[in-house]
Structure 1
Amino acid sequence: MSDLVVITGTSGGLGRALAREAVANGYRVLGIARRSVEEADIGDGYAHLCADLSDIDAIPRLARQVLAEHGAPYGLVNNAAAGLDGLLPTMHNSQIRAVLDLDLLSPIMLTKYLCRPMLSVGRGRVITVSSIVARTGFRGLSVYAAAKAGLEGFTRSLARDLGRRGVTVNAVAPGFLDTDMTTVLGDAGMARVQRRSPLDRFATTEEVAAAVTYLLSPAAAGVTGTTLTVDAGSTA
């Protein structure tokens, strides 16, 4: 039986690309998202589980369900996120909490429970989707940037915790992608971002997915504790 990879946020544009690429490379994929996904839209080997990852207290139960119904994962790709656009002084406290719960706390908690079987067998991959905004900043995305920067620190430290047990931990930091999450920038904002790229374009979801699949592969066995940037050169 092929290795199982759990990917969160597969109802969004990047998540679908991650799932399709992983299935195309021979992995069994379990997608987790709040919205349903047609399994045939991803490909053979894909299964879907509807769950609200912002419900932190439900994550231990969710992890038990994953293990009971699908078996121990070889890989976990923490992709689910929300990029709420707003200036901090005018954001409601509940909005700040919602972003931090989904973007930072839920990946940490899901990793806690799903890396345990990886440690038991002495092999595994944990990959977190960050963002270049963690390092560059962007107007109106201070809370989102804080969450992503936290994930990169989490990645580096967790790599040291798990490495001796055969589990690698890495992050991929996409630039701005032409997905539903970036529509809040508007056409003018997207055009400004695109002009920063030496390639005069955005990175694609398929390019980000290829980077994640590389980190899942045996070829990346010696890569851990790092963040791989896929942004068409905009931060060069």
Structure 2
Amino acid sequence: MGSKTPGYHSTITILSGLATLVAAGLLLFPGCRAEPPPPPQIDIPELLDYGERFGGDFMLTDQDGERFDLSEHRGDAFLIFFGYTYCPDACPLMLSKLAAVYDVLDLEPGQRVRTIYVTVDPRRDTPKQLGDYLAYFSTVDVRGLTGSREEIDAVAERYGVLYKLQQPNEAGHYLVAHTTTLFLVDREGRLRYRFHPSDTPEYIAAGIKLLFE
């Protein structure tokens, strides 16, 4: 009565031995418990050269009513996004992400990347409408561009952007389904990368940095 079986003693001995080894390991390597995990690796995009197939220069009207010609801005890199000011989701999210991109982007003096917001809804997005809308995103230096339907269609086609006006509701309000790609244009005006909306600010910033290497 009250005696322990041999198996019981064996189990105690094994557990005691394991505890001793663990304790010894913690004494030998005291930093193991508190060592933080390594920082996540940031993938770096591989820049492409689309040649004459996509991208290229264009001329539109900015939010100040001035004509903007991309060919006059050699030496600056550009992020180009197509959207519209009545967009309820993708466009505000992208503009917020661009603010985060500029927060993590570390460029040398003289290196500059600018952001262009091309409307796909020129009927409603007048220069004044673009200016009022972009003022809400003052942390990002964005130039809004509009033009005639024919001008917008020509630029959208060059960049492979698709958009479609949806059926208006009873109040006449309508949405526009559109491509949400972010385009990276180098200092010579060449399209070099197309970022997906899910790409992180760090990934986008890494791609921009490659243009200045």
Q: TM-score, normalised by structure 2?
A: 0.29
- The structure with more helix, counted as a fraction of residues: 1
Q: Which gives a bigger RCO, structure 1 or 2 (Cα 8 Å, sep 6+)?
A: 2
Q: Which has the larger radius of gyration?
A: 2
